[in-house]
Amino acid sequence: GGGTLLHQGTHAIDLIAFLTDHAISEVTCQLYVTDADEDVFTATCRLEDGTLATLSSHQLHAGTRPDWVLFGEQGWLACRGGTSPFPGDELTVHVGRDEPSKLATSEVSAYDAEVDAFAAAVEGAAVVNGSGLDDLRVIAACEALYRSARERRTVAVEAVG
């Protein structure tokens, strides 16, 4: 490992868990590998409550954004980017046959915003927005995604915390 799953997928996994307040419990993953790192990954993740999320990311063509979709009982969230270094990433919610509603659009790079938030927390001007448990859950999900791709099957994610 060490390609697009770790570079971009980890952020999408963390964001999905944050937005739903549910850890990922089961995954299926496919990778496209050139040289030593994977350049493309696509995954289906089942959350603890049964919600399904699809993730895809690649690093073959510069400037493309990682996308993800989260499917629930009453609708879905679609994210265009959301973890990319570019402003203009967009999160929309779709409910039934209604027109989609834009929940958020980034005005600045997600990376710049993350660094600013971390610096503010270090300076005591903001609260740290994670306990560390979320990070351990992301690592467990990534380990399961790599195992799924290697074994070509759906695998359970090790429960953490």
Give the span between the Cα atoms of 120 and 23, in whole angstroms. Answer: 27
Is-contact 94 104, C-beta < 8 A? no
Report yes or no: 120 and 148 within 8 Å, Cβ to Cβ. no
Q: Is 141 helix (H, G, I), strand (E, B) or coil?
A: helix
Residue type, 98: D
pLDDT (0 to 100) of residue 90: 85
Q: Give the Cα separation of 143 and 153 in Å (integer).
A: 14
User: From the first residue on, what is the mean pLDDT of each consecutive set of 10 residues in the chain (161 residues)?
Assistant: 78 86 94 74 92 82 72 83 72 86 81 86 88 91 95 96 82
* H/E run at residue 14: helix 10-20
User: Which pLDDT score is estimated for 128?
Assistant: 83
Q: What pLDDT does 107 receive?
A: 82
pLDDT of residue 152: 97
Give the pair of three-digit tokens for residue 58. 């690649």
Instruction: Quote the pTM value.
Output: 0.80
Question: Residue 84: what pLDDT?
Answer: 62
Distance of alpha carbon 55 from alpha carbon 44, whole angstroms = 6
- pLDDT on residue 35: 72
What per-residue confidence (pLDDT) applies to 123? 95
